[in-house]
Amino acid sequence: MFLFDISNPLTLLLMLAATVLLIFLSQEIKKSYIGAITLFSYLIILIIHVAQIATLPEEYRYLLTTLSRCIVIDFIFVFITFFSYLWVDDMEAKIKGKKSIDNSLDWFWKKV
């Protein structure tokens, strides 16, 4: 059974570095679609891990703890990339003078 184990420390460090670099890139060029691509990729990884747990055969039950850790890490990355997407979208909207997708976090962005 193939398992994309992001609970491995080296893989986790590489994914964190790639995520931070993509967030920084989207912030520098003021394009929110880069953050959206990152968010969707983590959502796809989360769906894959949940599907693997749901269809886990009995002989692979020892992978249950690893998959559970991967799902927790997936949720953390989805949380980080979602808020970074909203942040960059707000910056892009202010520069272009258009309405952003969601203005409900204006109180938060003013404090950042």
- Asked whether residue 100 is domain-assigned, the answer is yes
**Does 18 reside within a domain?**
no
Q: Is residue 45 part of a domain?
A: yes
Determine what percent of the chain is predicted with pLDDT higher than 70. Answer: 87
Domain count of the fold of the chain? 1
| pLDDT score at 68 | 92
Tell me the C-alpha distance between 21 and 104, whole Å: 26
Residue 83's domain comprises 24-111
Query: What is the model's pTM?
Result: 0.82
Residues in the chain with pLDDT values less than 50? none
